[in-house]
A = this chain, B = another copy of it.
Amino acid sequence: MTRILYGLCGSDIERHFSPHVWKSIMSLKHKGLEFELKPVPFTAVPGIEGGCSKTVPVLKDGDKIISDSFAIALYLDEAYPDRPSLFGGEGGKAMARFVEGYSQNVIHTAITKAILLDIYNMLAPKDQEHFRRTREARFGMTLEEVAAEHQAAVAAFPQTLVPIRHTLSYQPWIGGQHPLFCDYILFGALQWARICSPAKLLPEGDPATDWFERCLDLYEGTGRSVAAAA
């Protein structure tokens, strides 16, 4: 097979947890394209395919190499136009950036506050050192200080689901009648939390929780193939 998706792993190389890699896993499944998923630990990312990217995912498709989950989705729609679109037109392509902006700046921030120490605990020792240094610099406090606010962060989390709930009050998916890349953007964030932490971020009976469960079922349960953290 010539199609390889490089994704992030911790000490257990089977537990892919990167939200951005999950976006690309779901994008490839959406297009019905086969691929091999290659686990890479944090500190080995700069060596992928001769150092083409500082971050994952990286997709190698024949002789094409593309990094960044949004760029990969755009590439897939352009390279495989006969398969189901990931954006549903030019407007959807544009507005998926808004969903990305919300997901990365609001949802990711809220998740990070709630599960930072859980992510740390998943990593191999060498990666833990890198993770602690970079994240403590970003937060301006120790991992343990961030973790002390865990309960408050979990309690505050459902508030970030409001635009998702609003959208689902009109349609079954964020992308409308069928899931699109915008669904995978938000799914990636919540899947990351599900795999890294036993924290209950999604309230039972919430429409967003129901939607997330349906995302986990897509493509023969691809999302469920990695068990939730216990």
Chain B residues within an 8 Å CB radius of A89: 88-92
CB < 8 Å neighbour of A176 from B90, B104, B105, B180:
B90
Within 8 A of B (CB), among A164-221: 164-167, 170-171, 173-177, 180, 182
The number of chain A residues touching the other chain, given as a range, is 35 or more
A172 to B166: give the CA distance in the assembly, Å.
26
Shortest Cβ distance from A186 into B: residue:
B98
Chain B min CB distance to A195 (Å)? 24
Q: Is the interface of A mostly helix, strand, loop or mixed?
A: helix
Chain B min CB distance to A80 (Å)? 16
Whether B95 lies near A96 (C-beta < 8 A) is: yes
Chain B residues within an 8 Å CB radius of A91: 85, 87-89, 91-93, 95-96, 175-176, 180, 182
Copy number in the complex reads 2
- A97 is an interface residue with CB less than 8 A from chain B: yes
CB < 8 Å neighbour of A92 from B88, B101, B102, B171:
B88
Per-residue interface assignment for chain A, residues 129 to 164, with 1 indicating a CB less than 8 Å from any chain B CB and 0 otherwise:
000000000000000000000000000000000111
28 contacts between A and B (CB under 8 A): A85-B91, A88-B89, A88-B90, A88-B91, A88-B92, A88-B94, A89-B90, A89-B91, A90-B92, A91-B95, A91-B175, A91-B176, A92-B92, A92-B94, A94-B177, A95-B98, A95-B174, A95-B175, A95-B180, A95-B182, A97-B171, A98-B99, A101-B162, A101-B164, A102-B163, A105-B162, A105-B163, A106-B162
